[in-house]
Each structure stands twice: as structure tokens, then as C-alpha cells.
Amino acid sequence: MSVDRGVYARLSEKIGVVGYPRYIAILEQEMTPEEAQLAVDLADGISENDLAQKMKIDARALNQRIEDLVARQFVRRTKDGHYAIPQMPRFFPRLNNTPKLRELWFDFFHSGDYVEIDVAHMKARAAKRPGLRSHKIIPARKALLASPNLRKEQILWYEDMEQIFAHSDALSQGGFNKEDGTLRTRDGCGCRRYWGTCESPGGCTGWAWKKGQWGQENPIGLPFGGRNQVTHQQALDSCDKMEDYGLIHMSPNTAQITSTCNCCECCCEIIYGFKKLANVWELISPSRYRAVIDPEKCQGCQTCVERCHFDAVEMKKTPGSKKMKAFIINEHCMGCGLCIFKCPNQAMQLEIVRPPAHIPTITMAELFSGRV
């Protein structure tokens, strides 16, 4: 029986990726033609009964195939009981993880196709839901500690990594080596494993909320994504090491998250793409904080310039001083805090510039319900 290879192009269109042969080649490796056709049919709204008759299988067998596509994130359920095709499935294949597939994804990213598609999707999503960004920055724990102007009661527990860990039942850390307690490079981060661009230590941090934390149990659980389970102290130590290295804490833009990415600017699909093809500060939600500099203490060493991923620090001449001094470009500062605790003269600190309502407390499902 001949196979319709055009089904992959139709599925790619449903996903929102048109005109990218590299992505179609990936779909051909990730799915059989029958699976691709099933995903297209579900997105077209064909009832499960009609599908079972079309495929000449019983309802139970059809349901198993649908559940498999849902688990692999090629199909998602909608609130009305129907199915839809989500935005381009993220970097690592959930199943069928072969050397060929990894090679295709690597080429897809480094060709620039992946970033171009992802940024276009993010821009479209932002346009559909003005004021609500899909991802946000969480300030560095060490920056909060290095800001004596901040009172503990001003800091929301879900914007402070230490308090997040304290609210969890279990913790996991990507790249954590149980043998010696070190953080490995690449092993713990899906982006770095697949893009292979840098040697940043560690990876994503995950947690399981205490029961009833948000009126619901943690939907992900542990272990997740190849992470090792860690103690509270190990999680703090890992967090500090990644902040020292210059990794940015980023998560979906809601308080109800269950993991945090610890991002570099060369592998992170979001930060890398936005910096290359967009204004990152217009598409990612900043933290509630902003860096401020005491010009009297600043000695012009430019450590903050080197630490900033968002081009938010500039050196200027100041009256009465022969030295160039650092100034914050407020519109660009994302409040990550990576510059704060490395200032050798303690000339910097974080200040609160946004109210608690700046961080949505909606569920993850509500946050991403507007995906294009």
C-alpha cells in the first residue's frame, strides 16, 4: 500500500511551521505516516467514532494511539473535549530518540530555522494576549541576599529560589552528580544536550509542591527529565553555583510552576532566539525587580557589563569623576540580579519596581491555552 508522505507537510502546517523542509524531515523520523495522519484528523475535529471506523480499529485501540500522541506532545486535549495540535514540540523527542533524530534536531537549531520559527510563534502569542508573556525571569537568590534594602516580607516566596525549595516536598536537579555532588556540563539540560553549544554547568531544577499548595497536586512529579533527586541543601548549593557561573533563572510566567530553567544566552532556545531576532525585554516578562547603582560606590570596573545578558548596563562619564561609571538602562533590565552580587564594591542592589500582581497566579494550562 502506498504511503502519503504529504501528510507530514499537512501536520507541519497544523503545528504552524510552513516552508521548513528540515522540520518535515524531523517529523518523518518522529512519527509514522499513520500517526501523522491521526494527529491531522484529530486537529480537523473528526470524532473518535468516525476515526475508529475510518481506521478499522476498535475504540480501545484508537484511544491507546491517541494517548501515545498526547504523551509525546503532538496532540493536546482542549477544554471542550476535542483535540488540537500544539505549537512546535520542544527540542528533545519524547520517544524514538535515535542518533539520526538527534542529528536532525542539531542541524535544525544551528541552521537558524528553529529559532526563526520559535520567535515568530512567541511574537504571535504575545500579540494574541497583550500584556501576558509566556516566560518570566526569577531573580538570583544571591542578588536578593545582597540587597539590604529589601525586607524579607516584601519578597514573594515564588520569586525566591530558596523559599521555593522550602515549599516543596521533593527536589530534582539536572546535571547533578550524586557521586561527588558536582554539576556536570550538558548532561542536565535538554538545550545543551541537543544544541551542544557551551559548557555551562547544571540544568533545569524541578520540584514537587506540597499537597494543596495551589489547591492541586503537582502534575509532574519526580524524577523528571533525567534529573537526579537532591536534598534542600544540595539544591541551594547547585543554585548558587549556577548563579556564580552567570546562568539566568527563567520559568513559565506564573507562580504555579514546577521547574526552573537555568539559562545561558547561547543554548537557551528562548533567550538566544529573542536576543538574535527580537527585543528580549518585550517578549519575556522581567522579574518584579530592577538593578540600581550607587554612583558614589561605582569604580567603573565593568563587571556588571560583563555579567549582563540583556545589554542593560552602559558606561558613562560622570561630572566630577575621571572614571567611566555604570548606569542601568531601565527599559532593558530584566531584574535577573546576576550583576548585583558580583560587584566588588557593593555598589549595586535590587529594588522592587512592580507589584505582586505582576506575576500571574494562573495555572500552567491557563497560561498556555492561547498557544498558536
Distance, in Å, from the CA atom of 169 to the CA atom of 222, rounded to the nearest integer, reads 10
> Is residue 19 one of the residues assigned to a domain?
yes
Distance, in Å, from the CA atom of 283 to the CA atom of 237, rounded to the nearest integer, reads 30
**Strand bridging mode 313-317 / 324-328:** antiparallel
CB-CB contact of 193 with 174 (8 Å): no
**Residue 236 predicted with pLDDT over 90:** yes
One domain, residues 181 and 253: yes
DSSP character for 301?
-
Domain span holding position 217: 135-287+354-367
Give the residue, 61 or 188, on which the prediction is more confident: 61
**Residue 157 predicted with pLDDT over 70:** yes
The count of C-alpha atoms lying within 13 angstroms of the C-alpha of 322, restricted to the half-sphere facing its C-beta, is: 0
**Strand bridging mode 248-252 / 259-263:** antiparallel
Q: Look over the chain and give the mean of its residue pLDDT values, rounded to a whole number.
A: 86
- Residue whose C-alpha is closest to residue 80's, from 29, 124, 45, 125: 45
> Is residue 127 one of the residues assigned to a domain?
no
One domain, residues 186 and 271: yes
One domain, residues 157 and 245: yes
One domain, residues 34 and 161: no
How many domains does the chain fold into? 3
The pLDDT of 49-65, averaged and rounded, is 89
One domain, residues 67 and 149: no
**Residue 355 predicted with pLDDT over 70:** yes
CB atoms within 10 A of CB 357: 8
> Is residue 105 one of the residues assigned to a domain?
no
What is the pLDDT confidence band of residue 371, given thresholds at 50, 70 and 90?
very low
**Residue 59 predicted with pLDDT over 50:** yes
> Is residue 117 one of the residues assigned to a domain?
no
* Greatest CA separation for the chain: 84
Q: Give the CATH number of the domain where residue 27 resides.
A: 1.10.10
Question: Beta partners for 351?
Answer: 290
**Residue 336 predicted with pLDDT over 90:** yes
**Residue 220 predicted with pLDDT over 80:** no
Distance, in Å, from the CA atom of 135 to the CA atom of 178, rounded to the nearest integer, reads 30
Please, which residues have CB within 8 angstroms of residue 259's CB and are 6 or more apart in sequence? 204, 205, 206, 207, 220, 224, 225, 251
**Residue 211 predicted with pLDDT over 90:** no
Give the residue, 33 or 364, on which the prediction is more confident: 33
> Is residue 104 one of the residues assigned to a domain?
no
The pLDDT of 353-364, averaged and rounded, is 93
What is the pLDDT confidence band of residue 216, given thresholds at 50, 70 and 90?
low
Question: Which ranges of the chain does DSSP label H, i.e. alpha helix?
Answer: 6-15, 21-30, 33-43, 48-55, 59-71, 99-110, 113-128, 141-145, 161-166, 190-195, 232-245, 269-277, 280-283, 303-307, 364-367
333 three-class SS: coil
- Residue whose C-alpha is closest to residue 369's, from 276, 252, 275: 252
One domain, residues 204 and 320: no
**Residue 182 predicted with pLDDT over 70:** yes
One domain, residues 264 and 294: no
What pLDDT, in 10s, does the model give residues 253-295?
Answer: 999 888 899 999 888 878 888 888 888 888 899 999 999 999 9
What pLDDT, in 10s, does the model give residues 81-137?
Answer: 788 887 765 544 555 578 888 888 889 888 989 889 888 888 887 888 888 898 999
What pLDDT, in 10s, does the model give residues 160-175?
Answer: 999 999 988 889 998 8
Radius of gyration in angstroms for the set of CA atoms belonging to the chain, rounded to a whole number: 23
One domain, residues 210 and 258: yes
One domain, residues 276 and 301: no
185 three-class SS: strand
> Is residue 275 one of the residues assigned to a domain?
yes
One domain, residues 318 and 348: yes
> Is residue 103 one of the residues assigned to a domain?
no
> Is residue 207 one of the residues assigned to a domain?
yes
Q: Give the CATH number of the domain where residue 329 resides.
A: 3.30.70.20
What is the pLDDT confidence band of residue 217, given thresholds at 50, 70 and 90?
low
Predicted pLDDT of residue 153: 95
> What pTM was computed for the model?
0.84
**Residue 48 predicted with pLDDT over 70:** yes
Residues of the chain with pLDDT > 70: what percent? 90
What is the pLDDT confidence band of residue 178, given thresholds at 50, 70 and 90?
confident
Where a domain ends, among 89, 112, 146?
Answer: 89
Distance, in Å, from the CA atom of 10 to the CA atom of 12, rounded to the nearest integer, reads 5
One domain, residues 151 and 76: no
End-to-end CA distance of the chain: 35
Predicted pLDDT of residue 4: 67
SS3 content of the chain, % helix, strand, coil (to 5): 40, 15, 45
- Residue whose C-alpha is closest to residue 172's, from 251, 260, 44: 260
One domain, residues 190 and 331: no
The pLDDT of 289-306, averaged and rounded, is 96
